[in-house]
Amino acid sequence: MPSADDLRRQFRSLHASGTFVMPNPHDVGTTKLLTTLGFPALATTSAGFASTLGRLDMTVARDELVEHVGRLTAATHLPFNVDSERLYGDDAAGIAECVGLLAGAGAAGCSIEDWNPATDRIDPIEVATARVGAAAEEARRLDVVLTARCENHLHGVDDLDDTIARLCAYRDAGAEVVYAPGLVAIAQIERVVGEVGLPVNCLLLPGGPSVAQLAAAGVRRVSLGSFFANLANAAVINAGKQLFAEGTLATPSLDRALLREAFTG
């Protein structure tokens, strides 16, 4: 297995050119399956992990996340980016401490969001920028790639000018990657790529632009968020409804050879 330092260097190099897909497993099993499929990096999903605990997104404690990250990084030879919500800190020291804990659990990258569930709104830009700066300082020290997220378009703030202003401020505060989940219009994505001037992560959505289209727009990194976790939960719900209503089951399409390879390799 490569060392944590090797994985961090490997992860950073992926952002240098081209476009790569970084899917989001939600447990050890899906980590092993996606590793076997040949992706160059993986990422956690806060909503997906919460669902494995029977909870909603943004209800997982910091120590639960750190333990989860340790289990997932131990299950793969690939670099892992962590969906770390607000980095669990109310001040600079708390944010830096969380970055350090995630690095210690094997993370090659982590993210920080500007949505505050306690106030039910996006942080003022000066507050969010200061928080990014605190995370970036510790991330640089540990050679962890920091992604700064603007959550506007997941929370009904469809103001692209504000999104770009925020991402530029986060860039200037030290973020190495930027991310505005929820953007689907190629013209808007191209504007973010062109105006921010950092590697851009984009969320792949059903019915939205393909990986090839995002690559043509200049997107450097593509992730899936909670898609696979939602897909798994939907399969259980739908099969359970059929079982309850009809007393029957449909045969799942499952590559058992791949499953054996992933779980015994």
pLDDT of residue 216: 98
Q: What are the structure tokens assigned to 80, written together? A: 């892992």
Q: Are 155 and 122 in contact (CB under 8 A)?
A: yes
In 3-state terms, what secondary structure has residue 38?
A: coil
pLDDT tens per residue, range 216-260: 999 999 999 999 999 999 999 999 999 999 999 998 899 999 999
Tally of CA atoms within 13 A in the half-sphere of 265 that contains its CB: 18
Structural domain for 72, as ranges: 4-264
pTM value is 0.96
Question: Strand 115-116 vs strand 221-223: parallel, antiparallel, or unpaired?
Answer: unpaired
Q: What are the structure tokens assigned to 207, written together? A: 């019915």
CATH number (domain holding residue 211): 3.20.20.60
Judged on CB neighbours under 10 Å (0-12, 13-18, 19+), 257 is exposed
Judged on CB neighbours under 10 Å (0-12, 13-18, 19+), 254 is exposed
pLDDT tens per residue, range 143-180: 999 999 999 999 999 999 999 999 999 999 999 999 99
Q: Residue 265: pLDDT above 90? A: no
How many structural domains are present in the chain?
A: 1
Mean residue pLDDT across the chain: 97
Using pLDDT thresholds of 50, 70 and 90, give the confidence band for residue 1. Answer: confident
- Pairwise CA distance, residues 19 & 221, whole Å: 6
What is the mean predicted confidence (pLDDT) over 183-209?
Answer: 97
pLDDT of residue 245: 98
Q: What is the rounded end-to-end Cα distance, in angstroms, of the chain?
A: 13
What is the mean predicted confidence (pLDDT) over 45-66?
Answer: 97
CB atoms within 10 A of CB 89: 18
Question: Strand 20-22 vs strand 109-113: parallel, antiparallel, or unpaired?
Answer: unpaired
Using pLDDT thresholds of 50, 70 and 90, give the confidence band for residue 63. Answer: very high
Q: Residue 88: pLDDT above 90? A: yes
What is the mean predicted confidence (pLDDT) over 95-110?
Answer: 98
